[in-house]
């Protein structure tokens, strides 16, 4: 197992001139030995490029990759001792399940008894024990991909196991089970696992630390609660959550916040002096608040804004209320209640509180402990 450090940038084209020429903009990042990480972001943001740079399938155009402090930038995937699992099964159809799982161990020259023991353990974890003697050719796509996962996990001596959207071909119900299983396997085997996905639920279920990526940039690395509670970049607020964070342009005038043409007194609000001083330096900034933290309040309550309800949806465990404030959409998640508002109503919302975030040029202006200080 190894800790992996990246200090690099990558462009597939020669002589990159502008940000959009890079698949990965300059970044410095450390993945700890034994950690479970997800690289999360939309299609084309650079996840696979980052994974392939770690495995050695792609050489970065600038900078270095280190394993436990040793520069491995020019080493092949074999020399880096990496296991990689791809979107589609990579197995030998003519071999049995057991032979497929044993293959990476035989290649390393392990003793037969040790191979049998390890194959048995991995098969049990992935619920493949009953199929060990079957030929892979006759198995379902789901079972074949489980074998691929098993082949990735079977060796104890790898530096890391890298997964590139490994559950794409898996049936939705089994997908849910396998995600949880992978997390359990991580705890049991203690391997360094790095997992690429564009699915936030997959990332949040599997990983202890998630790297959110957007257009070649790693915009935040953090645990699920940090990404939810304190997105450091507006993209994280937008991408994580269902629906994502609300964003509204805002400015300060004296002790009042101007939001959608309405004036909110900040007297008695939860915002601390440091935050107010920072906001006062800016002509305009963006207020971010998650739909979960917007509160419905009685009319004319100080510190609240008046909005018009445009849509009310019953989403089962909560109501999703869509409202409009001076041409901006603001979504609210409400617990089911006797009399939810209806489209066309005018209601009052409290947006300010300990969970409100502020952004300038897409970046969070001030971090968690200082917001209320």
Ligand X SMILES: Nc1ncnc2c1ncn2[C@@H]1O[C@H](COP(=O)(O)OP(=O)(O)OP(=O)(O)O)[C@@H](O)[C@H]1O
> How near is the Cβ of 64 to ligand X at its closest, in Å?
19
> How near is the Cβ of 51 to ligand X at its closest, in Å?
8
Closer by beta carbon to ligand X, 17 or else 43: 43
- Choose among 120, 140, 138: nearest CA to 130: 120
CA angle, corner 246, sides to 244 and 249, nearest 5? 145
> How near is the Cβ of 26 to ligand X at its closest, in Å?
15
Closer by beta carbon to ligand X, 12 or else 373: 12
Closer by beta carbon to ligand X, 209 or else 286: 209
Token pair of 97, please? 């399940």
Rounded CA separation 240/72 (Å): 33
Question: Any idea which residue has 């990159």 for tokens?
Answer: 16
Q: Which residues bind ligand X (CB under 6 A)?
A: 12, 23, 41, 43-49, 198
Closer by beta carbon to ligand X, 211 or else 234: 211
Closer by beta carbon to ligand X, 154 or else 162: 162
> How near is the Cβ of 201 to ligand X at its closest, in Å?
16
Token pair of 351, please? 């947006």
Helix pair angle (112-125, 141-153), 10° resolution: 130
- Tell me the three state secondary structure of residue 16: coil
Closer by beta carbon to ligand X, 45 or else 250: 45
| Proportion of the chain in helix, strand, coil states, percent, rounded to 5 | 30, 30, 40
- 56, 77 contact by CB (below 8 A): yes
> How near is the Cβ of 30 to ligand X at its closest, in Å?
20
> How near is the Cβ of 10 to ligand X at its closest, in Å?
8
Closer by beta carbon to ligand X, 161 or else 349: 161
User: For residue 268, what is the enclosing H or E element?
Assistant: none
Widest distance between CA atoms in the chain: 77
- Partners of 249 in the β-ladder: 286
Rounded CA separation 335/318 (Å): 5
Rounded CA separation 61/46 (Å): 14
Classify 220 in phi/psi space as left (phi over 0), alpha (psi -120 to 50) or beta.
Answer: beta
Strands of the sheet containing 346-350, edge to edge, are 295-297, 346-350, 304-314, 319-325, 328-334
Length of the chain, please?
373
> How near is the Cβ of 12 to ligand X at its closest, in Å?
3
- 167, 202 contact by CB (below 8 A): yes
> How near is the Cβ of 252 to ligand X at its closest, in Å?
38
Closer by beta carbon to ligand X, 155 or else 217: 217
> How near is the Cβ of 86 to ligand X at its closest, in Å?
11
Neighbouring C-beta atoms of residue 125, cutoff 10 Å = 18
> How near is the Cβ of 148 to ligand X at its closest, in Å?
18
Closer by beta carbon to ligand X, 134 or else 168: 168
Closer by beta carbon to ligand X, 155 or else 198: 198
Rounded CA separation 294/99 (Å): 56
């Amino acid at each position: 197992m190894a800790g992996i450090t990246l200090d690099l940038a990558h462009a597939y084209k020669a002589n990159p001139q502008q940000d959009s020429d890079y698949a990965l903009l300059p970044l410095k990042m450390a993945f700890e030995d034994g950690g479970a990480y997800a690289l999360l972001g939309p299609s084309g943001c650079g996840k696979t490029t980052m994974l392939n740079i770690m495995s050695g399938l792609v050489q970065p155009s600038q900078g270095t990759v280190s394993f436990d402090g040793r520069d491995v930038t020019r080493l092949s995937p074999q020399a880096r001792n990496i296991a990689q699992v791809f979107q589609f099964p990579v197995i030998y159809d003519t071999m049995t399940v057991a032979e497929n799982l044993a293959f990476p161990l035989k290649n390393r020259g392990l003793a037969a008894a040790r191979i049998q023991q390890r194959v048995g353990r991995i098969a049990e974890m992935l619920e493949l024990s009953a199929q060990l003697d079957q030929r892979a050719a006759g198995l379902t796509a789901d079972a074949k991909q489980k074998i691929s996962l098993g082949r990735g996990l079977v060796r104890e001596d790898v530096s890391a196991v890298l997964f590139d959207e490994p559950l794409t071909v898996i049936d939705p119900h089994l997908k849910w089970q396998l995600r949880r299983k992978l997390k359990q396997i991580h705890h049991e085997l203690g391997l360094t696992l790095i997992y690429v996905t564009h699915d936030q639920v997959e990332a949040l279920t599997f990983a202890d630390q998630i790297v959110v990526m957007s257009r070649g940039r790693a915009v935040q690395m953090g645990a699920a609660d940090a990404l939810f509670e304190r997105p450091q970049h507006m993209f994280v607020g937008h991408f994580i959550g269902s629906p994502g964070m609300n964003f509204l342009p805002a400015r300060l005038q004296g002790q009042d916040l101007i939001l959608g043409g309405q004036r909110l007194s900040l007297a008695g609000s939860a915002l601390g002096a440091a935050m107010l001083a920072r906001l006062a330096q800016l002509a305009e900034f963006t207020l971010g608040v998650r739909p979960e933290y917007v509160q419905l309040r009685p009319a004319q309550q100080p510190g609240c804004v008046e909005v018009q309800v445009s849509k009310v949806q019953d989403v089962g465990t909560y109501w999703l209320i869509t409202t409009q404030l001076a041409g901006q959409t603001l979504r609210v998640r409400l617990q089911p209640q006797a009399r939810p508002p209806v489209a066309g109503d005018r209601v009052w919302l409290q947006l300010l509180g300990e969970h409100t975030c502020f952004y300038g040029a897409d970046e969070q202006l001030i971090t968690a402990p200082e917001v209320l200080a």
